[in-house]
Structure 1
Amino acid sequence: MEKHHKKRRQINKKAILIAHFGTTYPSALPSLDNIKQRIMAEIPGVETRICFTSNMVRNTWRVRRRKPEKWIAEGVTEEFLNIQGLLGAIGNLQDANYRTIIVQPTHMYHGEQFEDLKSYIRAMQSIRTVKRAWQPFEKVVLSRPALGTWGIEHDYSDDIEEVVALFGEDIERSKQKDAAMVYVAHGNDFFSSSAFSETCRAMREAWPDASIHIGVVEGRPGIEDILGDLASSGRRNVILRPFMITAGDHAHNDIADDGPDSWKGAFEAAGYRVETRMEGLGADDRFASIFAKRILETATDNGIDLVSEPVENNPHP
């Protein structure tokens, strides 16, 4: 007797997961929320959620959940108070039938955190069930950071130029004040920070009459390197701004603290007059919109239609 098996189907809904490094500073959270709001405005109708990739940051919020009323009173939303990591967030999406997921990192460049994300995504992409009908994901793909990444699909120098174009107001302000514009990125000790050097070069080419510098908290060029560069600029005024998504822990403690070990303290000790601009890049709608553009490009690259309605997949027609 011939057996007839009912065709197995799974609902395949689409989602965007924004992967932030994260922050423990409530005052820095609006920068992250602004990125989500811009993405939702430019890609409407698609489930959009967030996660934090930093274990230390998530652990801090986990402890804070013991007294939620304190943080809610400070304006922290439940979304941030109950923040998850990548695996937890993707697991919840998959459990709700979101099987096509674009992960958009908000990291500035391809460093340690982005490389770890790639490893997680590759592992999820490799899952194979005995019956294809029960594959947990149809597609789970990783988009690229603000300053791009290597590869032939998208020229990272174009991504850098796109970011550089947003800083004209900063540079003009520094010129009016006869000040050096010094950006401070996060960086790391394990990956080259050359993307920031290329970004700085592109800025200098765009504004050749300005004094522009990009240093990093971790790695090179550090404080001493930038102080050496400034010595030949002839300027005695400095505007410091974090080249980071948020103005969180690094911005307040490593950059703008009044102590001698901060960037501000080191510049002042060297005789410079320092102005700090404590605002994360994510607060700028134009910068936040870059991530929406990255998502749409990643969707196109991977044959994902973010506009169409969810469908029930039939792997065995």
Structure 2
Amino acid sequence: MMTRSAILLAAFGSSEPQAHRILARFEAKVREAFPGRTVRWAFTSGRIRERLAGEGKKTDSVSKALARVGFERFETVAVQSLHVIPGKEFEDLKRAVRDAEENGPIARTTLGAPLLAGPDDVEAAAAAILRNLPPERSPHEAVLLMGHGTWHQGDAVYDSLAARLAEQDPLVKLGTLEGIDSLEPLLDALRRDTVNTVWLIPLLAVVGAHVQRDMAGDGPNSWKSRIEAAGFACKPVMRGAVENEDLSDIWISHLTTAVSELDSDQASGGQGNTVPLDP
């Protein structure tokens, strides 16, 4: 009898309708790449799930989604992270997948890596970003990417990406909302570069509240407002990383690895886990 296998896409989540449309587009890309596979979703942010529940919209945590998949008699699951870095959210995801495998009805799992899981991903992501900069940008105009950031050790991958981008285009810079790569040092660097225009681009999966409020909002604490207060013209680009086809291909490549390993394990009777599940 053929083993029933599913794909679970795990994103931080968002309550913004635009973000849901973009995630639906990514799901269509996954279905095209893996025809015949059942695809399910989980949101890792409890706050987002609560907000959506208050709007009458049901979403699952990773644990609940895996339990539901098991209840539907799927025996194996390839879980794909849509996180950008291997930070705390990804660590929580690993634990949830491990617990489902150890205590739930899922026989085997594999877990696909986040966007920036290692040096090869950093190289591919830098190329993807530089290939998809705004075509209207002039050579003397700066580009500032805004990541979420974290105080988790996974935050270091942002520095690797920033360094690789700077090697190829010194006016392309990267900062984060949280963590050590804050906006102020970048403003100083932009002054030294004597630029007058800054293109502001999110390095988050989708355009959610962080992008609309913290990056491009009209409030005094948004990055756009602070950049303008520092004397620069600011041009926000409302386009998340999932909408960059070259970046989304990196996530798809990680999922391809997870699915391939799952199928290989299935054929050999071995145990999965493309990404180690130890905490």
Report the TM-score, using the length of structure 2 for normalisation.
0.89
Instruction: Confirm or deny: 8 A CA contact 1:35 1:285 kept in the other structure.
Output: no
User: How big is the shift at 1:173?
Assistant: 3.7
- Cα deviation 1:227-278 (Å, max 9, x = unaligned): 1221211111100011111111100111111222111111111100100101
Query: Is 1:163 aligned to 2:93, yes or no?
Result: no
Instruction: Confirm or deny: 8 A CA contact 2:79 2:258 kept in the other structure.
Output: no
User: How big is the shift at 1:169?
Assistant: 4.0
Residues of 2 paired with 1:293 and 1:57: CA distance? Answer: 27
Q: Bigger CA drift: 256-265 or 266-275?
A: 256-265
Which SS does the other structure have where 2:205 is aligned?
coil
Residues of 2 paired with 1:107 and 1:178: CA distance? Answer: 32
Q: Bigger CA drift: 183-192 or 15-24?
A: 183-192
Which SS does the other structure have where 2:121 is aligned?
helix
- Cα deviation 1:21-50 (Å, max 9, x = unaligned): 000111221221122111111111111111
User: How big is the shift at 1:279?
Assistant: 1.0
Please name the residue that 1:275 is paired with: 235
Query: Is 1:48 aligned to 2:39, yes or no?
Result: yes
- Cα deviation 1:125-170 (Å, max 9, x = unaligned): 333xxxxxxx72220221100111xxxxxxx111111222212344
How does 1:219-258 map onto structure 2 within 5 Å? 219-258=179-218
The answer for unaligned runs of 5 or more in structure 2 is: 268-279
The Cα RMSD (Å) is 2.2
Query: Is 1:147 aligned to 2:116, yes or no?
Result: yes
Residues of 2 paired with 1:29 and 1:137: CA distance? Answer: 27
Instruction: Confirm or deny: 8 A CA contact 1:12 1:97 kept in the other structure.
Output: no
Q: Bigger CA drift: 39-48 or 280-289?
A: 280-289
Counterparts in 2 of 1:204 and 1:139: CA distance versus 1, 3 Å: same
Runs of 4+ in 1 over 6 A off after TM superposition: none
Equivalent of 1:113, from 75, 80, 89? 89
Question: Aligned letter for 2:232?
Answer: Y
- Cα deviation 1:177-228 (Å, max 9, x = unaligned): 62110000111234452111111111222x24x4011111111211112112
Counterparts in 2 of 1:49 and 1:173: CA distance versus 1, 3 Å: same
Question: Aligned letter for 2:216?
Answer: A
Q: Which has the larger radius of gyration?
A: 1
Q: Bigger CA drift: 20-29 or 168-177?
A: 168-177
Instruction: Confirm or deny: 8 A CA contact 1:161 1:202 kept in the other structure.
Output: yes
Which SS does the other structure have where 2:75 is aligned?
strand
Please name the residue that 1:70 is paired with: none
User: How big is the shift at 1:58?
Assistant: 0.3
What percentage of aligned pairs have identical amino acids?
A: 25
Query: Is 1:31 aligned to 2:22, yes or no?
Result: yes
Instruction: Confirm or deny: 8 A CA contact 2:7 2:78 kept in the other structure.
Output: yes
Instruction: Confirm or deny: 8 A CA contact 1:23 1:57 kept in the other structure.
Output: yes
Instruction: Confirm or deny: 8 A CA contact 1:189 1:219 kept in the other structure.
Output: yes
Residues of 2 paired with 1:172 and 1:117: CA distance? Answer: 33
Please name the residue that 1:198 is paired with: 160
**Aligned residues, how many?**
268
Instruction: Confirm or deny: 8 A CA contact 1:31 1:281 kept in the other structure.
Output: no
Which SS does the other structure have where 1:295 is aligned?
helix
Residues of 2 paired with 1:305 and 1:190: CA distance? Answer: 32
How does 1:124-135 map onto structure 2 within 5 Å? 124-127=100-103
The answer for unaligned runs of 5 or more in structure 1 is: 1-9, 66-80, 128-134, 149-155, 309-317
Query: Is 1:265 aligned to 2:225, yes or no?
Result: yes
Query: Is 1:95 aligned to 2:80, yes or no?
Result: no
Please name the residue that 1:136 is paired with: 105
Which SS does the other structure have where 1:187 is aligned?
coil
Please name the residue that 1:216 is paired with: 176
Instruction: Confirm or deny: 8 A CA contact 1:34 1:285 kept in the other structure.
Output: no
User: How big is the shift at 1:174?
Assistant: 7.0
Question: Aligned letter for 1:280?
Answer: G
Please name the residue that 1:293 is paired with: 253
